[in-house]
Structures are given as C-alpha cells and as structure tokens.
C-alpha cells in the first residue's frame, strides 16, 4: 500500500480511508497516511458500521 501511495500522483485528490472492523478505533490513520499521499486536497479516515454511515460520511 505504501509503495503504491508513494508512486501515485495525488495532486488535488481527496483520500478517504475507512474501516469496517469494530475491533480497533480508527485512531491516527489519516495522520499516518499523509506522508504517503503528498499534494492531496484532503486526507480523512473513519470507522463505519454500515453502508448508511459510509454514505453519510462521503
């Protein structure tokens, strides 16, 4: 994942990472992604429980 993220041109893109597992909190996922997705418009991450939560967040 890190190799792909480092090579891809993220200029002007939004990175929206999500997880569906309730076993761990999403924590600092967005913060940890930032060095690998340079020149992005925004980076965010969220833990969702169902499709409705995902749609509301996006």
What is the pLDDT, as a whole number, of residue 52? 93
In angstroms, the CA 53 to CA 31 distance is 21
Distance CA 33, CA 41 (A): 13
Confidence tier at 57 by pLDDT (50, 70, 90): confident
pTM above 0.75, yes or no: no
Q: What is the pLDDT of residues 15-55, one digit of tens each?
A: 888 888 767 788 888 888 888 888 888 888 888 988 998 89
Rounded to whole angstroms, what are the CA distances from 9 to 32, 37, 43?
Answer: 18, 8, 14
Strand partners, 47: 19
Which pLDDT belongs to residue 41? Answer: 83
Give the chain's largest Cα–Cα span.
Answer: 33
Domain spans of the chain, in order of start: 2-57
């Amino acid at each position: 994942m890190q190799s792909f993220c480092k090579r891809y041109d993220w200029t002007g893109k939004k990175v929206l990472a999500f997880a569906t597992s309730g076993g761990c909190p999403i924590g600092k996922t967005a913060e940890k992604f930032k060095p690998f997705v340079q020149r992005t418009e925004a980076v965010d991450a969220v833990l969702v429980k169902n499709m409705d939560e995902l749609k509301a967040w996006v």
